[in-house]
Structure 1
Amino acid sequence: MKRALSVLAAVLVVLSLFSGVAAAQETRSGETVVIEEGETVKGDLTAVAGTVVVQGTVDGDLTAFGGDVLVEGEVTGDADAFAGTVRVAGDVGGEVSAAAGTVVVSEDASVGALSTAGGNVAIDGTVAGDVEAAAGSVSLGPDAVVGGDLTYDGALNRHPDATVAGTVREGSPASPVPAPIGEIPTPPPWLGPVYWLLVNLVLGAVLLAAFPRFSDGVSTTARTETLKSVGVGVLALVGVPIALGLVAITLVGIPLSVAGALVFALLLWVGSVYGRFALGAWLLALADAENRWVALALGLVVVAVVGLLPYLGGFVDLLVLLVGLGALSLALYGRYGEAWNDERTTTA
């Protein structure tokens, strides 16, 4: 559910970018778009590419669709990105709005504010204003400085040296009614992970009960073709958002892009649960045991526990997602893609 909500948030980000696409003073596309060091783009820039790199200056707003988006130079306005990985290692004067698998604000980087949805969000630079992050893992490094409030949805890993000037809270903004002691009560840190564990358990149970053979096939693929599954998962996580962004550039393609994003959100959620199921099945196999229900519960618990660890938790969560998403894609192709190709061959 968390990933589904994250991608739904990504859809809203994409929709908000369409007006920027129409009004942008400059648009660049290709396999790689690079704003070289010393180069200045006057006005807003829209970039659609596999890799978008800003080493120089964008004197306006940046809108980027890509597999990887890297800001090493300066963006004087806002930076909106829809990509597999978004990394800010320079300066963004306005707000960074990012929907990505990984979002990083590096040490020595500076942004005005941060609003993001992703699998893993890591902040080790300076955010002058508020941070709103929905992710599997939200990490604040030792050099992280947040000048405003931090609102997060996911597992928070905060280094003792990280600084947050405002309020730290999980979920939606708290009620404006003040607490009796004058402070907003903070929920226990285990509440969020336990809630999502139960939600994923419900989805996993539905999948195993409704599609037992297919679910076993996905698990087997994940365990016997792990590297292939990871590769396909990376291609899906990076390629699908790019394809949806390209489709959405045209006005006619907006409804198709929105519908595709909703379907992709569901696949991300299902893939993440299947990844946990495959992990549990693999751990049981090490003990010469086999039980799909125990495997589901074991995989969910292991990932939830590891997810509480700083940095490692986010990496494991992303890896499990890639394996599950890739195995799910391979299984769907094996069931429907090959049959469709055979039908086309027969018709021809």
Structure 2
Amino acid sequence: MSEQDSELDLSEAEAALERGDYGQGLELLLPLAEQHPLNSPEGPGLRLLMITAWMGQGQDDKAIATCRLLSRCRDHKLRQQAKQLLGVLEAPSLDRPERWSMRMPQLELNGSGSGQTSTMRRRRSRRPEPPPPPPTGPTRSPAAGFAVLVMAVLLGITLLLSGCVRIEADLDLRGPDRLALTWDVRSTQQRPLPWQEQFERDLQRDVPGLKIEQTSPGRQQISSRVASSHELAQQMAAVVAVAGRAAGVSLPAPTLKLEERNWLLGVQQHVQLMVDLSDLPEIPGLDVHLSLNHGQVERTALSGTTTEVSWQGWRWNPLGLGGVVILMLLISSMVLQVVRRKLGFGFPELPS
């Protein structure tokens, strides 16, 4: 009750409700309810006690009607209590199986007034009941094999829940020794899996420098900043380790190699990404895709295999191209000066 309800003397009514005398509790509460309407400070607390008494007497209709009125009162605490009681009262009743109830056998009275059940008469005509079975002894703790079995079942459930997910990893080459990695983790059930929630919490704690976004229900987009191949390889190994730990398996770190040759005008790049899933058991619903440069090269990584993705290409160097253009302009200027002198115009002169 709130502080305003304490002004009324409700101790006698509360004591009646505590000992199960709901009729006396209602007799004490009804006159007070007439004096204090629902919009008064004491009204909601009184009616909450009346709901308890009506529930004890089985008058659910009155209790439901009063709960609906209390669900619109100004007191937030009483309003929440009324909504909870309303949910309990409006819950559908379940049929109780007949075997859950115990029925007393019917007694047949004879002329002398004594009675005996039909079961007792049948037992007299039968042989005596066999002795009870011997005791099984004291309860013993489970053996070590039981614990191993439980751990295997829990691991299987974890792996199963870790499945039903599609993982896409895209490696983007932004420049000479400048790379970025994007992970797209998507649940096929259109809702976050327990593995995804644990994976996100571990990433935020153990792997700094990642941007994690929830693009849709059950879909996570994890992006890294642009870094060198060495830094990105370390970050990728940390992400794979966290993913394996969240699924309850141990995964080796992937291998990232980048070879570059600078030819002044551009850079020749050869990138190679290798993911080892040979120790990963077969997980139903798990789909892992690897791609380079937004899908220029794509591979599907399968459980129990090693997948390699490689790409080789050319990237122009803006500084080298600018230097070549300047050199060509200088050569053109010198050629024009030589042609001018041969035509008899001499060297360029300033105006007099």
TM-score range, shorter chain: under 0.3
Higher RCO structure (Cα 8 Å, ≥6 apart): 1
Structure with greater strand share of residues: 1
| TM-score, normalised via structure 1 length | 0.19
Larger radius of gyration: 2
